[in-house]
Amino acid sequence: MQNINAILCLFLMLSACSRVVSLVPMPDLAPARDRVVQHVLITTSRVPAEGGPFVFSDARSPQLNFADIDVSIPENREAGTLPLPRRRVDASRDFTATSIEPLDTGQDFIDRVNERIAADPEAQGRILIFIHGYNISFPRAVYRTAQLRHDFDFEAIAVGYSWPSAGRTLQYVYDRDSASFGRSGLVETLDLLAQSNAREIRLVAHSMGSQVAFDALLELAARRRKDVLEMFEAVVFASPDIDVDVFMQDIQILEPLRFPMVVLTNPQDRALNLSRALRGGHARVGQVESVDALLEKGIIVFEVAGRRRGIDPFGHLGFATSPALIELISNTSTDDLLALSQQGKKTELRSNVKNAQGQTDLVLYLPRAEDVPDRPPISPFFQELSDGD
């Protein structure tokens, strides 16, 4: 009974932290120095909404839908924060949609990807695709994709895949089924990107979205889609809500890994603790106790510790909010991680960036990788991090 009460209390706390977020475009928003516009291409297995502020609903669509959305991002905010529109939108304070254009077909999506690649030579054909987690409405998914692309300064075309989460805390079971439903839509999205002029894909999946992404990778492997799998520059599972035993068994299907895989964990992740409790105590991949097993598989592990009051009170959003992680990713590359792995031993690195409590909030665990091919030299920023250990 005590465990049940604890679970109910945590659900209520999660509910209190969530609110309705709209995605009403403001096409007349004039350019300003305190705002930047981020282009986000969207694929989704949600049904289009009939009016209202959501564009796409929580209902499941048997066919993939597409959109091209511009998001205005306020510059006078702390990196990692995501101020969302309230009843009265303030573009100087909030993330705000400035345009929403539905795309009719998969070919239209491919054409728009190609246009974005041609217009942004610095991206060099790279794609950043983000898959959101549990309890996320369509507007939140769009805004988070824009925030990640902007704050981490990825030189890539931003694409968001939104599976049909209910966006309501008490709909956990519905979301779990929707995550399974969403696998085929992500597979189709990746297939479309493979047909475009894209050269590389960096995939970032959060929480329950990691299950969607992992299942999609397994399906691509089962279909022998080597052409798609070899496009991945990296796959990042942030606080993955995946059963450890299932993951360790199924990862063998992808071995040997054709791409670097990263798992972000947090020992203080209360959301994953709740998921674990709902499953009778079975550990999740995003929990720290699975680190050694992941390293043995050649998976890089980032421990993003702590909770940020008012930003990440449950310790589940470190992948998007951690100052140390933002600084690290903004100054280094996957090649740097692989170069360090060439040292031939398990390596532990601690960031010098402190959190609000004065503690290091980022630890990197790098597995032995003696067969990693030659890579470019480590960047100066990452070399300083290594030397300071």
Q: Do 317 and 14 contact (CB within 8 A), yes or no?
A: no
* Residues contacting 262, CB < 8 A, separation 6+: 234, 235, 236, 237, 299, 300, 301, 302, 337
How does pLDDT run along the chain (389 residues), one tens digit per residue?
445 444 444 444 444 344 555 565 555 555 555 678 999 999 999 999 886 656 899 999 999 999 999 999 998 888 889 998 877 778 888 899 989 999 999 999 999 999 999 999 999 999 999 999 999 999 999 999 999 999 999 999 999 999 999 998 889 899 999 999 999 999 999 999 999 999 999 999 999 999 999 999 999 999 999 999 999 999 999 999 999 999 999 999 998 888 889 999 988 888 898 888 888 888 899 987 778 888 888 888 988 876 666 677 788 888 898 887 887 787 766 666 666 555 544 566 666 555 555 455 688 887 765 433 333 333 343 344 444 33
Judge whether 369 and 340 are in contact, CB under 8 Å.
no
Helix (H) or strand (E) holding 96: strand 96-103
Q: At what angle do helices 183-195 and 172-181 cross, to 10 degrees?
A: 40
What are the DSSP E strand ranges found in 325-377?
347-350, 362-366
pLDDT at 67: 95
For residue 246, the model assigns a pLDDT of 95
Q: What is the pLDDT of residue 327?
A: 79
Rounded Cα distance between 69 and 96, Å, is 10
* Euclidean distance between CA atoms 11 and 35, whole angstroms: 35
| Residue 276, amino acid | R
pTM comes to 0.86
- Cα-based distances in Å from 68 to 59, 110, 206, 334: 20, 12, 22, 28
Tell me how far apart the alpha carbons of residues 84 and 35 are, in angstroms, rounded to a whole number. 14
